[in-house]
Amino acid sequence: MPPEDNPTPERCRLYLVSPPTFNPEHFAGALETAFSVGDVACFQLRMKDAPDADILAAGRRLIEICHAHDVAFLVNDRPDLARELGADGVHLGQSDMNIREAREILGYDATIGATCHDSRHLAFEAGEAGADYVAFGAFFPTRTKETRFHPDPEILTWWSEVAELPSVAIGGITVDNCASLAAAGADFVAVSSGVWNYPEGPGEAVRNFNEILDSTAKQ
């Protein structure tokens, strides 16, 4: 669960997701800036349509920055590439490799997260299969990923009451709407364009996210 050294965060923390396409050298500077100004628990490399060689090249460049700032580095979808990169784990969608197979590839020390959309049933199944966290969403409209699932924040409150696994809220999250998800019980908010496309830059976005999350008490 991101990060491995803080399984039950006292307050909701920031989980960053990469843009779908980017120049690794240029993006490395943005990532360094983001990590330098505020608390970030985890970074997920999500390059859905990129060739393996490009994912590996970007991963090798960015994992060093993550680990230098004590940020967990996860790869989307691909346990095989996560293992090759020495990543901390992988995030799996419902159409990706199942959790048990990913665990066989990555071992028991790896973090494995699972997309559960708006489904309590999928969340329980993920926990039983050995996931380290469950992700619900999309809570708000987003251009990053097409989805037909739009859960109510109440699912975060319910999960925090019935399960010990951390929850990640995802989907269209910005500095203007993250407080409601943190208050509802999310352990992490996963953000992509809300940081990388922030008008004042990613550093200011991370700073503002952390100020809001610091001041938001969970239910």
> What is the rounded end-to-end Cα distance, in angstroms, of the chain?
21
95, 98, 112: which is closest to 165 by C-alpha? 112
Q: What is the CATH number of domain 13-214?
A: 3.20.20.70
Confidence of residue 3 (pLDDT cuts 50, 70, 90): very low
Spell out the alpha helix ranges (H) of 40-189.
52-68, 79-85, 99-106, 120-129, 154-162, 178-184
d(CA 7, CA 193): 26
Confidence of residue 28 (pLDDT cuts 50, 70, 90): very high
The residue-averaged pLDDT of 49-73 equals 98
Confidence of residue 219 (pLDDT cuts 50, 70, 90): low
Which three-class secondary structure state does DSSP give residue 112?
Answer: strand
Confidence of residue 149 (pLDDT cuts 50, 70, 90): confident
pLDDT at 10: 76
Q: Is pLDDT at 102 greater than 90 in this prediction? A: yes
Rama region for 171: left / alpha / beta (φ>0; ψ in -120 to 50; rest): left
pLDDT at 111: 98
Tokens of 60: 């090798």
Amino acid letter, 148: R
Tens digit of each residue's pLDDT (9 = 90 or more) over 185-197: 999 999 999 999 9
Give 161-166 contacts, CB < 8 A, sequence gap 24+. 161/185, 163/123, 163/124, 163/127, 163/134, 164/8, 165/1, 165/126, 165/127, 165/131, 165/132, 165/133, 165/134, 166/1, 166/2, 166/7, 166/8, 166/9, 166/132, 166/133, 166/134
Q: Is pLDDT at 148 greater than 90 in this prediction? A: no
Spell out the alpha helix ranges (H) of 70-147.
79-85, 99-106, 120-129
The residue-averaged pLDDT of 34-41 equals 97
SS3 content of the chain, % helix, strand, coil (to 5): 40, 15, 40
pLDDT at 65: 98
Q: Is pLDDT at 212 greater than 50 in this prediction? A: yes
pLDDT at 90: 98
The residue-averaged pLDDT of 37-49 equals 96
The residue-averaged pLDDT of 99-115 equals 97
Domain ranges of the chain: 13-214
Residue position matching structure tokens 């990923």: 145
d(CA 137, CA 186): 11
d(CA 169, CA 139): 7
